A = this chain, B = another copy of it.
């Protein structure tokens, strides 16, 4: 079934980074207010809220985010849902909102993602994040970075992936983030040497192969065609959504070198959009670890197996290249406030398609694809946008 007549009518986000002195409420308020302003929509026209977050009950002692969110925004009374799928929660929330509007029950759904994870000590947030793996993996002390390291090593052995290519993902995405004033690493240029000399976390992956722990919030408004005619000057169309899960424990999967849920979610999204890979102009790809950008581009068939690294070396995925990837800076350098991340990706594409991305604008983009992962390839959500 096609996703027809579903639009993004407003976007807004906070700075990503270690945000001191902020609360869940202040972040939600800032991102949502900007979004309402961007859409030129009155609060009273928002008829439902979907909130995305990983673990506010552990990071912030707050479990009741639907109530908090409606209250902070002066929208008490409005139906509110919390939707998630581990680190792909923001993307899951968008897809739920798309279906809520498509069902005809709601016309304008405000989707907000938030994470405030730097107010607990690093060992606490590490233990919280570790709870995303299979119980047997947890028992053995296997973490997601360790799984990523195994997947990376296999790709180095069998698919020609090089250590330098991984470093180059970080270099590219940090370079892109220099042009994104809201990025966590807006001011941090990174060289290949910086990455190669950073401490080993899970061999062969080093510190600079990983995204940071960011605080931040991002929001968008999803609207029906009926509603969009009334108030929005430059709506962006959501033309495709696709989601997929994979076998939970990594070692139980048939293929350890790729993420099958990424392949499946992308196939489904492209099918609902009635598009092929060649028609996509720009991508935001889940790069919590540098190898993921390359492996996922191959899983989604934008490049043949083992050739995404070469495409990167040739500049194809640079901002000025034929297929720009993670122009925002990606999770790697824009940052990864978990609950907000998937929404922030779609926000970046929206700005690009509206030609409002400032210094990092890619000229003439008409379509974009956002890809988000929860767990190590466990839950994948792909969303496709087009200029209307």
Interface residues of A in 18-37 (CB under 8 A from B): 23, 25
When each residue 1-22 of chain A gets 1 if its CB lies under 8 Å from chain B and 0 otherwise, what string results?
1010000000000000000000
Interface residues of A in 53-70 (CB under 8 A from B): 54-55, 57-58, 61-64, 66-68, 70
**A76 interface residue (CB < 8 Å to B):** yes
Interface residue stretch chosen among A168-176, A242-250, A324-332: A242-250
Known: A75-B245, A82-B83, A131-B61. A375 touches B67 (CB 8 A): yes
Most-contacted residue by chain B among A48, A62, A103 (CB, 10 A): A103
**A378 interface residue (CB < 8 Å to B):** yes
**A274 interface residue (CB < 8 Å to B):** no
Q: In the bound complex, what is the Cα–Cα distance between A82 and B96 (angstroms)?
A: 10
- Which residue of B has the minimal Cβ distance to A71? B248
- A residues lining the B interface (CB < 8 Å): 1, 3, 23, 25, 48-49, 54-55, 57-58, 61-64, 66-68, 70-71, 75-86, 89, 92, 95-96, 98-100, 102-105, 128, 131-135, 138, 241-249, 260-261, 264-265, 268, 272, 374-375, 378-379
- Which residue of B has the minimal Cβ distance to A83? B83
Residues of B within 8 A of A135 (CB): 23, 25, 61-62
Contact A264–B378 (Cβ < 8 Å): no
Min CB–CB distance A146 → chain B (angstroms): 16
Min CB–CB distance A2 → chain B (angstroms): 9
- Which residue of B has the minimal Cβ distance to A80? B245
Residues of B within 8 A of A76 (CB): 245-248
For this chain, the copies found in one complex come to 2
For A85, give its contact among B55, B81, B241, B242 (CB under 8 Å): B81
Contact B81–A96 (Cβ < 8 Å): yes
Contact A64–B375 (Cβ < 8 Å): yes
Known: A83-B82, A131-B63, A261-B77. A248 touches B138 (CB 8 A): no
Contact B55–A264 (Cβ < 8 Å): no
Residues of B within 8 A of A68 (CB): 134, 248
Contact A80–B71 (Cβ < 8 Å): no
- Which residue of B has the minimal Cβ distance to A70? B245
18 example contacts (A-B, Cβ-Cβ < 8 A) are as follows A23-B135, A57-B57, A63-B131, A64-B248, A66-B85, A66-B379, A67-B248, A67-B379, A68-B134, A71-B249, A77-B260, A79-B245, A79-B265, A80-B85, A81-B92, A82-B89, A96-B96, A102-B104
Residues of B within 8 A of A99 (CB): 96, 99-100, 103, 105
Min CB–CB distance A288 → chain B (angstroms): 14
Q: In the bound complex, what is the Cα–Cα distance between A71 and B377 (angstroms)?
A: 13
Q: In the bound complex, what is the Cα–Cα distance between A244 and B78 (angstroms)?
A: 5
Min CB–CB distance A355 → chain B (angstroms): 30
For A83, give its contact among B79, B86, B96, B374 (CB under 8 Å): B96
Q: In the bound complex, what is the Cα–Cα distance between A158 and B208 (angstroms)?
A: 64
Q: In the bound complex, what is the Cα–Cα distance between A62 and B249 (angstroms)?
A: 13
Min CB–CB distance A151 → chain B (angstroms): 16
Residues of B within 8 A of A89 (CB): 82
Min CB–CB distance A199 → chain B (angstroms): 26
Known: A103-B102, A244-B77, A246-B76. A86 touches B61 (CB 8 A): no
Contact A105–B102 (Cβ < 8 Å): yes
Residues of B within 8 A of A102 (CB): 102-105
Residues of B within 8 A of A100 (CB): 96, 99, 103
Min CB–CB distance A337 → chain B (angstroms): 16
Q: In the bound complex, what is the Cα–Cα distance between A265 and B77 (angstroms)?
A: 9
Residues of B within 8 A of A242 (CB): 79
